[in-house]
Amino acid sequence: MTLQQLIAQFGEQQVVGFFAVLARISPLFVFAPLFSSKSIPARVRGIVAVALAFGLTPVVVQGAELPTDAWGLAGLMGKEILVGAAYAFTLAALFAALEVAGSFLDTLIGFSFGGLIDPITGNQNAVLARMYSLIGLMIFIAIGGDTWVIQGLARTYEVIGIDQTPAIGTLVAGASHAFASIFLSAIQVAGPIILALILTDAAFGVVSRVVPQLNVFAVGFPAKVTVGLLLIGVTMPFVGAWLAGELQQSVAQALHTLKVA
């Protein structure tokens, strides 16, 4: 079916509205957790994006007057992509914090010497960074995070309608805050384990001065692995509760950054 036939069957405003909604949804499948996972084929992600756009278009386009000229369409698509990217980036920062927390622990324990391909992001990560990423994704699915994300996406149209312009300053400030919070959130997740590993290193440093004959490197590495994995297992339930709370806060924060100019 050609574009002219689509316009003739559904109407010019509905067709323009569909592509505008698709433009706002698309960044979700580039940045947002689960939706952007490299383990999901690109064709499947595209079908889901089109299905969401079909479902939202009749609701968000109702009563709106959308431009149909070339420059107006270009501005509309650019604005929708910007709004969708701001929303998705705030959510992506939460899972980036989990990966950073895992990277901290990989470096301190010594797992950073071996790297594996993370199926979620497609990047090369060490063992614990990959584990935190996968566990975060499982918790995300278990608590219905995908539903919260889609509901939050629908609510963005209550904040900034399809025919309204966002405040650029607020979007930039929100993205900057999300980026700055990655390191702080990673410390919250891995802080107790990092402290325990630092104390373990200090203890072995004292032992090496008292007993110089002891091969600290041969004994210290297994001890740090044991302490690290034990504390990871103990703190994992708290990480799940933290992730559930932070996900709700991230959706609320993403919506808060969207304001009409």
* Closest CA relative to residue 24, chosen from 152, 153, 179: 153
Could you tell me the residue range of the domain that residue 154 belongs to?
A: 3-256
- Which segment of 89-93, 127-131, 211-215 scores lowest on mean pLDDT? 211-215
How many residues are recorded in the chain?
Answer: 261
Question: What pLDDT is stored for residue 113 in this prediction?
Answer: 64
Checking if the pLDDT of 241 tops 60, the result is: yes
The pTM assigned to this predicted structure is 0.80
Residue 62, CA distances (Å) to 17, 36, 52, 133, 215 in order:
9, 29, 16, 40, 73
Q: Are 57 and 145 in contact (CB under 8 A)?
A: no
Specify the 3-state DSSP secondary structure of 166.
strand
21-53 pLDDT, tens digit per residue, is 899 999 888 888 888 887 888 888 889 988 998
Q: Are 127 and 116 in contact (CB under 8 A)?
A: yes
Spatial CB neighbours of 203, under 8 Å, sequence gap ≥ 6: none
Token output for 38 = 């490299």
| Domain contains 223 | yes
Question: What pLDDT is stored for residue 129 in this prediction?
Answer: 82
Query: C-alpha angle with apex 130: 124 to 133, nearest 5 degrees?
Result: 120
Q: Are 92 and 33 in contact (CB under 8 A)?
A: yes
Would you place residue 228 in the very low, low, confident or very high pLDDT band (cuts 50, 70, 90)?
confident
| Domain contains 49 | yes
Checking if the pLDDT of 121 tops 60, the result is: no
| Domain contains 244 | yes
150-186 pLDDT, tens digit per residue, is 888 888 888 888 888 888 888 888 888 888 888 888 8
Q: Taking all residues of the chain, what is their mean pLDDT, rounded to a whole number?
A: 81
| Domain contains 261 | no
Instruction: Report the number of distinct structural domains present in the chain.
Output: 1
